[in-house]
């Protein structure tokens, strides 16, 4: 069979596997199209509980829209015209007013706020939710700790509608941390009713049920297939959203997701390959929004406890073997900022992300392997999150091919998206392709998560260095005290150490892209990189 005939057969097969438009919309016909939003993405939530073990990024979207926080962020417009959250401006959500001193923050709660079942929201619910976040362990507890929110004794019920947070230390990140997804407010009495002696925080219940008072509530969840939301008509945390019903479908095939948005059957499509976003934008039939992901880096990580990646020369060899420009051209299609190839002798800054000095140099890579005592290379596995295969898979193929040229045989390991977070926490994968973005857009926050020895979650490389820890801690202290000179020195210090020790190799700062029908408006970029349904509308 000729190549063109093979391609025709593949095209016909793909077309036959597409979900037909009537099937996609069958459940939404009961309501007007302009009150129902259909979005499609590569993968969906594995847990509806932001505090759950191994909750993936799509799970954040559920928590953001179904639960309230005490405070949120204002809006600003980015240089490219995209609406974005404003890091430096806080707005009311469940709290209608607050007062911050050197020792505490006191929040006055809305008296008309209720949970989805009609139960009034009180300060007792807020304390129970904060207590849960700092107690359950894992990601939520580490996230709270990032803002010096560490123990239940810090959280005080003053009266039914007044809640206070007592500070353990001065920390610039405390207030920003209260506005992220983790300190979502749960219906404490409902959760307690579904708790058990072995499960005092009702983790099993919250995994498959929402127990909040946010703008939307989940009415149906079929893992791996769809999530359906209905608007909370009693929501008081902001203007009532325009969209009454959200249908979120998981469509693994990128070709199908593109076809659905092009045909007009889907309203919003996420997680497409960058090539598709570029072509859709050029065609002009749908709107494509792109914005750099703040504090975010796609990287190749090497577990420094797994030989031979415990040797600096091996890590440096890998850094010189990465096909950086090929990845930018063939995977990202220009929708990313390169984080490599800084000129020799270039001065470090306090900006993050910023490029390192490594470039593709196979001769230098081979020499470094020989210096490490591995002139013939070695075998390893290169793992990635299959839930975000649109970028990870072609990226890993290019890295695999380049490593083979210096004698490193890397077998690609595709980890299901629902299991990726859990696999990362085991710290058994020697070589990974991964993405991390810090919710709080400060370099010391990123490094707290990714390089600090006390952080066991997103420090995916098991990297331990006391000097690095001291620099990160010092930068946080200097930021809290307003010591600009010390802060600048410490930030440049920990960036330099990260580049010198190279436990992870930054590749690029990607853009967050979404394709949507032109009658959809109100899109806003958020630090969590998920959709906020509350501001969306359809003409």
Q: What is the CATH number of the domain that holds 116?
A: 3.90.76.10
| Residue 461 near residue 318, CB atoms below 8 Å | no
In the prediction, which pLDDT does 345 show?
Answer: 83
In the prediction, which pLDDT does 9 show?
Answer: 39
Dihedral sign for Cα 180, 297, 369, 395, please: positive
Query: In 10 A of CB 229, how many CB atoms?
Result: 26
Residue 25: give the domain boundaries: 17-63+204-292+512-538
Round to whole Å and give the CA distance between 489 and 495. Answer: 10
In the prediction, which pLDDT does 394 show?
Answer: 96
- Is residue 69 a part of any domain in this protein? no
Residues 333 and 455 in one domain: yes
Q: Which helix (H) or strand (E) holds 271?
A: none
The last residue of a domain, from among 158, 192, 226? 192
- Is residue 71 a part of any domain in this protein? no
Round to whole Å and give the CA distance between 257 and 91. Answer: 35
- Is residue 454 a part of any domain in this protein? yes
| Residue 156 near residue 127, CB atoms below 8 Å | yes
Round to whole Å and give the CA distance between 257 and 147. Answer: 38
Round to whole Å and give the CA distance between 135 and 143. Answer: 12
Residues 401 and 530 in one domain: no
The last residue of a domain, from among 192, 223, 240? 192
| Residue 252 near residue 45, CB atoms below 8 Å | no
Q: Which helix (H) or strand (E) holds 86?
A: strand 83-92
Q: Which helix (H) or strand (E) holds 226?
A: strand 226-231
Residues 153 and 42 in one domain: no
Helices (H) and strands (E) in the chain, counts: 18, 20
List, as own/partner pairs, every contact residues 421-426 make where C-beta atoms lie below 8 angstroms and the sequence separation is at least 24, other chains included: 421/54, 421/55, 421/56, 421/139, 422/53, 422/54, 423/383, 424/457, 424/458, 424/460, 425/54, 425/138, 425/456, 425/457
Residues 243 and 301 in one domain: no
- Is residue 68 a part of any domain in this protein? no
pTM score over 0.85? yes
The last residue of a domain, from among 135, 161, 192? 192
Residues 126 and 32 in one domain: no
Residues 276 and 306 in one domain: no
Residues 317 and 338 in one domain: yes
Residues 332 and 430 in one domain: yes
Q: What pLDDT, in 10s, does the model give residues 260-282?
A: 999 999 999 988 999 999 999 99
If the chain, 539 residues long, is cut into consecutive pieces of 10 residues, what is the mean pLDDT of each piece? Answer: 38 40 48 85 95 94 98 94 95 97 97 97 98 96 95 98 97 96 98 98 98 98 97 96 97 95 96 94 96 96 97 98 97 95 91 97 98 98 94 97 98 94 92 95 95 86 96 96 97 97 97 96 96 96
- Is residue 70 a part of any domain in this protein? no
Q: What is the CATH number of the domain that holds 344?
A: 3.10.105.10
| Residue 354 near residue 342, CB atoms below 8 Å | yes
Question: If DSSP codes are grouped into helix, strand and coil, which group holds residue 246?
Answer: strand
- Is residue 4 a part of any domain in this protein? no
| Residue 180 near residue 440, CB atoms below 8 Å | yes
Count of domains forming the chain: 3
The three-state (H, E, C) secondary structure of 410-464, written as one string: EEEEEECHHHHHHHHHHCCCCEEEEEEECCCCCHHHHHHHHCCCCCCCCCCCCCC
Residues 421 and 325 in one domain: yes
Round to whole Å and give the CA distance between 340 and 324. Answer: 7
| Residue 40 near residue 188, CB atoms below 8 Å | no
Q: What is the CATH number of the domain that holds 32?
A: 3.40.190.10
Residues 338 and 442 in one domain: yes
In the prediction, which pLDDT does 15 show?
Answer: 40
Residues 153 and 234 in one domain: no
| Residues 405/408/413/414 CA torsion (nearest 10 deg) | -30
Round to whole Å and give the CA distance between 265 and 246. Answer: 14
| Residue 190 near residue 117, CB atoms below 8 Å | yes
User: Which residue in the block uniquely carries the two structure tokens 């109100």?
Assistant: 522
Round to whole Å and give the CA distance between 475 and 492. Answer: 10
Residues 476 and 522 in one domain: no
Q: What pLDDT, in 10s, does the model give residues 36-53?
A: 999 999 999 999 999 999
Which of 384, 341, 338 is closest to 508 using CA atoms? 338
- Is residue 269 a part of any domain in this protein? yes
Rounded to 5°, angle at Cα 302 from 296 and 307? 170
Cα distance from N-terminal residue to C-terminal residue, the chain: 49
- Is residue 462 a part of any domain in this protein? yes
């Amino acid at each position: 069979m000729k190549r063109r005939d093979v391609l025709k057969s593949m095209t016909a097969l793909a077309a036959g596997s597409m979900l037909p438009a009537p099937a996609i919309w069958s459940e939404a016909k009961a309501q007007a199209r302009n009150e129902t939003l259909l979005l499609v993405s590569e993968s969906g939530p594995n847990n509806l509980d932001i505090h759950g073990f191994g909750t993936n990024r799509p799970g954040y979207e559920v928590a953001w829209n179904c639960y309230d926080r005490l405070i949120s962020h204002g809006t600003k417009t980015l240089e490219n015209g995209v609406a974005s959250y404003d890091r430096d401006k806080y707005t009311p959500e469940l709290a209608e007013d607050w007062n911050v001193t050197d020792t505490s923050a006191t929040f006055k709660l809305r008296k008309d706020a209720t949970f989805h079942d009609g139960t009034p929201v009180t300060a007792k619910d807020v304390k129970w939710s904060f207590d849960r976040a700092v107690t359950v362990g894992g990601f939520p507890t580490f996230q709270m700790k990032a803002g010096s929110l560490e123990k239940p004794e810090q959280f005080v019920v003053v009266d039914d509608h007044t809640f206070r947070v007592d500070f353990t230390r001065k920390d610039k990140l405390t207030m920003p941390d209260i506005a992220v997804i983790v300190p979502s407010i749960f219906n404490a009495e409902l959760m307690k009713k579904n708790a058990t002696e072995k499960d005092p925080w009702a983790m099993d219940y919250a995994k498959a049920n929402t127990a909040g008072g946010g703008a939307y509530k989940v009415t149906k969840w079929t893992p791996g297939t769809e999530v359906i939301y209905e608007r909370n008509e009693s929501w008081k945390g902001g203007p009532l959203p325009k969209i009454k019903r959200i249908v979120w479908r998981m469509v693994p095939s990128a070709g199908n997701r593109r076809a659905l948005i092009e045909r007009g059957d889907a309203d919003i499509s996420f997680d497409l390959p960058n090539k598709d976003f570029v072509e859709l934008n050029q065609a002009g039939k749908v709107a494509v929004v792109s914005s750099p992901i703040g504090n975010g880096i796609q990287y190749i990580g090497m577990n420094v406890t797994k030989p031979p990646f415990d040797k600096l020369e091996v890590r440096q060899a890998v850094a010189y073997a990465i096909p950086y420009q090929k990845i930018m051209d063939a995977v990202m299609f220009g929708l990313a900022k390169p984080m490599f190839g800084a000129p020799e002798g270039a001065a470090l800054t306090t900006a993050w992300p910023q490029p390192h000095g490594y470039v593709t140099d196979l001769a230098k890579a081979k020499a470094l392997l020989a210096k490490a005592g591995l002139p013939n290379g070695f075998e390893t596995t290169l793992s990635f999150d299959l839930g975000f295969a649109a970028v990870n898979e072609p990226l890993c193929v290019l890295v695999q091919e380049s490593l083979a040229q210096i004698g490193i045989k890397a077998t690609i390991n595709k980890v299901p998206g629902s299991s990726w977070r859990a696999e990362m926490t085991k710290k058994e994968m020697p070589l990974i392709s991964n993405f991390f973005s810090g919710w709080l857009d400060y370099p010391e926050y990123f490094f707290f998560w990714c390089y600090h020895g006390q952080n066991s979650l997103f420090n995916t490389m098991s990297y331990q260095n006391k000097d690095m820890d001291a620099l990160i801690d010092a930068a946080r202290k200097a930021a809290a005290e307003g010591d600009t000179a010390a802060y600048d020195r410490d930030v440049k210090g920990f960036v330099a150490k990260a580049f010198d020790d190279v436990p992870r190799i930054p590749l690029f700062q990607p853009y967050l892209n979404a394709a949507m029908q032109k009658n959809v408006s109100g899109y806003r970029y958020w630090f969590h990189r998920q959709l906020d349904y509350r501001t969306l509308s359809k003409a």
